[in-house]
Chain A
């Protein structure tokens, strides 16, 4: 029931966007609308904003001119599936690390003081500085006897982006129990671990769930960007950049890959929503 309704709403949201897009194309000027030389409304011409149906049609066409090439749709789906699996790995890793860090920071004041600024800093370092290090050092590792695979570098970078919202949100959540509840656990002389498991973790769910959502988005982005950055083929990231290179002659093409990325984000968000439902009992105050 719930699931059907959310699918319907998702569809409605898509319809709204497409209508707005086409509506703007109807009324908007091909040169957009500028104030003081700054274009505040986008150009509405077909090469800047291709028609929805043009993009749809692109999906049905063969991807490349070679014999037996699959359609763009199939290519995008295949790439999305590839990126999805890496995102999942990155997400899981990021969530684990984020939760572990949050727990550590909650436990030790010094750890919090020392780490929190660097957790923040970690997200301000551009990937140019990180990707080569991950690829270079990762290449010298072996995981469970298996040599390092390129997708592992991508997953590591994906996790690197995903852990941040979890660390911040989870720390907030672990800090959220009120003084009365903490006093209760104190009165039981409950160990730190017991307080964590019986009180702080369940109480943190309200903060954790949005953090998981953000982490999901971050892991998808991390995967896509890292694919481009490290030159890993097979995923949506590669499609985005390759289709972008083709945009000059075929402006609708990049939109197919972008749509793929958006769909990927939706699927991951939907999975987190399912998790949210599973955790709902810890969230009685939530509507």
Chain B
């Protein structure tokens, strides 16, 4: 355990946060909290660990090599089922950011239209909203569509190799809009595409959340305290990024993201839309949305006929205890934690995201 060694003589408490991917605006709130000194003010010395293709954040957390981890809820629940003692302590993304994109002329506007098509799919556990959507529309994902492994880029869609591609609103969708349409010589526009949003189709699942170590939460008072402080400072960071999107873009770019500035600004903006407005306060876990995530995870079968979960999560899979405290503290400090007045900006993407 890393936090056992509390800071010497009241010095800052060292904390490690494991991300699920490389530095990008998807994680801007945490970087902002570091840069703006929010963690330091809370007495935390936070080290951010970047992800990799084979790094499973919740495993790193459960093994005690990190104190907190950012992970998608269904994937983290699957690890829980395998014995990883972790708890969702703040549901940062309130909405799902996954959509299925296709060229307009393919006439794919609902999940049902995917039947008989070549459908791009990441795998990596990011496919269940897609599968749930298709199942709900009466399509057997194992038989009625041709599943194609999707890469890091969207060329397969633009080349016409596949009919519909998975995309994160904040990332791959932007990539498409940063590409030049050879017919016009200009960038593609949203009008060129149809998209299926899983939020709209009702098969959305909870994504990025802050996970903590269950056992230490129940036994280690110092860790409980640290958790509140960490969630609080992180949400403060997210609130900052909501209000200062350009500044957060600059922070992420300065941290070494190789995707360009306009791309990161787009991403910042889209991520903000997944967080804000947050009716019950940022990071609060909504039982209904949680239940929808769990039920899809239990019932939806992927191409191999597997479900994410074999049974309902046991024990304390999530708790609002810490995030509530954090929100109280933030409200006391006058931080807007619901972002009711938030309205997204319009970001203009440059070619290649530059």
The 3 A-B pairs with the shortest beta carbon distances in the complex, nearest first, are A231-B52, A249-B178, A250-B352
Query: Quick check: is B22 within 8 A (CB to CB) of the other chain?
Result: yes
Residues of B within 8 A of A230 (CB): 52, 54-55
Chain A: interface size category? 35 or more
A residues contacting B by CB (< 8 A) are 43, 45, 47-48, 63-66, 127-128, 131-132, 135-136, 139, 227-233, 238-239, 241-251, 253
Least distance between A50 CB and chain B CB atoms (Å): 12
* Complex: chain B residue closest to A133, CB-CB: B54
Chain B 262-294, CB-CB to A under 8 Å as 1, else 0, gives: 110000000000000000000000000000000
Residues of B within 8 A of A227 (CB): 52
Residues of B within 8 A of A241 (CB): 22, 53, 152
Residues of B within 8 A of A243 (CB): 258
Q: List 16 A-B contacts (CB under 8 A).
A: A47-B155, A47-B182, A65-B253, A65-B262, A66-B253, A131-B52, A132-B59, A135-B60, A229-B52, A229-B54, A241-B53, A248-B178, A249-B175, A249-B351, A250-B351, A253-B352
Chain B 248-269, CB-CB to A under 8 Å as 1, else 0, gives: 0010011011111111000000
Instruction: Using A64-B253, A238-B22, A247-B153 as known contacts, list a sample of 7 further A-B pairs with CB atoms less than 8 Å apart, ordered by residue number in A.
Output: A66-B261, A231-B51, A244-B151, A245-B171, A248-B153, A248-B178, A251-B155
Q: A228 to B54, alpha carbons, bound, how many Å?
A: 8
Query: Quick check: is B50 within 8 A (CB to CB) of the other chain?
Result: yes
Q: Are B152's CB and A233's CB within 8 A?
A: no
Residues of B within 8 A of A128 (CB): 54
Residues of B within 8 A of A242 (CB): 22, 257-259
Q: Are B22's CB and A64's CB within 8 A?
A: no
Chain B 224-265, CB-CB to A under 8 Å as 1, else 0, gives: 000000000000000000000000001001101111111100
Q: Are B261's CB and A248's CB within 8 A?
A: no
Query: Quick check: is B353 within 8 A (CB to CB) of the other chain?
Result: yes
B residues contacting A by CB (< 8 A) are 21-22, 49-56, 59-60, 63, 65, 151-155, 158-159, 171-172, 175-176, 178-180, 182, 250, 253-254, 256-263, 350-354
Q: Knowing A47-B158, A64-B253, A136-B59 are in contact, say whether A228-B52 is a contact too (CB < 8 A).
A: yes
Q: A249 to B266, alpha carbons, bound, how many Å?
A: 14
Least distance between A75 CB and chain B CB atoms (Å): 8
* Complex: chain B residue closest to A245, CB-CB: B152
Least distance between A212 CB and chain B CB atoms (Å): 28
Q: Are B22's CB and A248's CB within 8 A?
A: no
When the two chains form the complex, which single residue of B52, B53, B65, B171 contacts A136, counting CB atoms closer than 8 Å?
B65
Q: Are B262's CB and A63's CB within 8 A?
A: no
* Complex: chain A residue closest to B353, CB-CB: A249
Residues of B within 8 A of A65 (CB): 253, 260-262, 350, 354
* Complex: chain B residue closest to A47, CB-CB: B155
Q: A62 to B299, alpha carbons, bound, how many Å?
A: 49
Q: Are A131's CB and B258's CB within 8 A?
A: no
Residues of A within 8 A of B59 (CB): 132, 136
Least distance between A156 CB and chain B CB atoms (Å): 14
Residues of B within 8 A of A247 (CB): 152-153, 155
When the two chains form the complex, which single residue of A63, A66, A233 contacts B22, counting CB atoms closer than 8 Å?
A233
Q: A223 to B180, alpha carbons, bound, how many Å?
A: 34
